[in-house]
Amino acid sequence: MGKPTGFLEYTQKHICYRRPEVRSSDFNEFVLPLTEDERREQGARCMDCGVPFCQSNYGCPLGNLIPEWNDLIFQGKTKEAWIRLMKTNTFPEFTGRVCPAPCEGACVLGKEDQPVTIKDNERWITDMAYEQGWIGPVPVSKRTGKTVAIVGSGPAGLAAADQLNKAGHSVTVFERADRPGGLLMYGIPNMKLDKKLVERRLEIMKKEGVVFRTSAEVGTDIPAKKLCEDFDAVLLATGSTRPRDLPVPGRELKGIHFALDFLVPNTQYILDGQQAGYINTEKENVIVIGGGDTGNDCIGTSIRQGCSSVQNFELLPKPPAERDSSMPWPQFPRLYKSDYGHEEALAVSGRDPREYGILTKEFVGDANGAVKGVRTVRVGWKKNTEGRFVMEEIPGTEEFFEADRVFLALGFLGPEERILAELGVETDTRSNIKAEEFSYRTGVDKVFAAGDARRGQSLVVRAIAEGKGAAREIDCFLMGKTRLP
Ligand X SMILES: Cc1cc2nc3c(=O)[nH]c(=O)nc-3n(C[C@H](O)[C@H](O)[C@H](O)COP(=O)(O)OP(=O)(O)OC[C@H]3O[C@@H](n4cnc5c(N)ncnc54)[C@H](O)[C@@H]3O)c2cc1C
Give the binding site for ligand SF4 (CB under 6 A).
Answer: 46-49, 52-54, 66-67, 70, 107-109, 116, 118
Which amino acid is it at 17? Y
Closer Cβ to ligand X, 242 or 323, answer by number:
242
In the complex, minimum distance from the CB of residue 106 to ligand SF4, in angstroms, rounded to a whole number: 7
Candidates 20, 43, 61, 154: give the one binding ligand X (CB under 6 A). 154
Asked if residue 176 binds ligand X (CB under 6 A), the reply is yes
Candidates 99, 202, 449, 474: give the one binding ligand X (CB under 6 A). 99
Q: What residue 452 binds from ligand X, ligand SF4, none (CB within 5 to 8 A, per partner kind)?
A: ligand X
CB atoms within 10 A of CB 286: 25
In this structure, is the dihedral angle defined by the CA atoms of residues 305, 310, 316 and 318, taken in order, positive or negative?
positive
Asked if residue 243 binds ligand X (CB under 6 A), the reply is no
- What Rg value do the Cα atoms of the chain yield, rounded? 23
In the complex, minimum distance from the CB of residue 35 to ligand SF4, in angstroms, rounded to a whole number: 21
Q: Do the bridges between strand 170-174 and strand 147-151 make them parallel or antiparallel, or are there none, so unpaired?
A: parallel
CB burial of residue 261 (10 Å; 0-12, 13-18, 19+): middle
Evaluate whether 346 touches 374 at the Cβ level (below 8 Å). Answer: no
Asked if residue 237 binds ligand X (CB under 6 A), the reply is yes
Q: Which of residues 385-444 bind ligand X (CB under 6 A)?
A: 416, 419
Q: Looking at residue 435, what DSSP letter applies?
A: -
Asked if residue 218 binds ligand X (CB under 6 A), the reply is yes
Asked if residue 153 binds ligand X (CB under 6 A), the reply is yes
Closer Cβ to ligand X, 78 or 302, answer by number:
302
Nearest-angstrom CA–CA distance, 96 and 125: 9
Q: What residue 52 binds from ligand SF4, ligand X, none (CB within 5 to 8 A, per partner kind)?
A: ligand SF4
In the complex, minimum distance from the CB of residue 257 to ligand X, in angstroms, rounded to a whole number: 13
In this structure, is the dihedral angle defined by the CA atoms of residues 82, 84, 85 and 86, taken in order, positive or negative?
positive
Asked if residue 162 binds ligand X (CB under 6 A), the reply is no
The span of 38-46, 101-109, 316-324, 458-466 binding ligand X (CB under 6 A) equals 458-466
Asked if residue 121 binds ligand X (CB under 6 A), the reply is no
Nearest-angstrom CA–CA distance, 342 and 339: 5
In the complex, minimum distance from the CB of residue 321 to ligand SF4, in angstroms, rounded to a whole number: 22
Candidates 452, 472, 477, 478: give the one binding ligand X (CB under 6 A). 452
Closer Cβ to ligand SF4, 42 or 285, answer by number:
42
Nearest-angstrom CA–CA distance, 373 and 440: 45
Please tell me whether residue 150 adopts helix, strand or coil conformation. strand
Expressed in angstroms, the distance from the first to the final Cα of the chain is: 26
Q: What residue 269 binds from ligand SF4, ligand X, none (CB within 5 to 8 A, per partner kind)?
A: none
Closer Cβ to ligand SF4, 42 or 301, answer by number:
42
Asked if residue 167 binds ligand X (CB under 6 A), the reply is no
Distance of CA 478 to the CA centre of its chain: 30
**C-alpha count within 13 angstroms, C-beta hemisphere, residue 318:** 13
CA distances from 160 to 104, 155, 437 (A): 26, 8, 15
Evaluate whether 65 touches 57 at the Cβ level (below 8 Å). Answer: no
Interface ranges with ligand X (CB under 6 A):
98-99, 151-157, 174-177, 182-183, 187-188, 192, 217-219, 237-239, 241, 263, 293-294, 297, 416, 419, 451-453, 458-461, 463
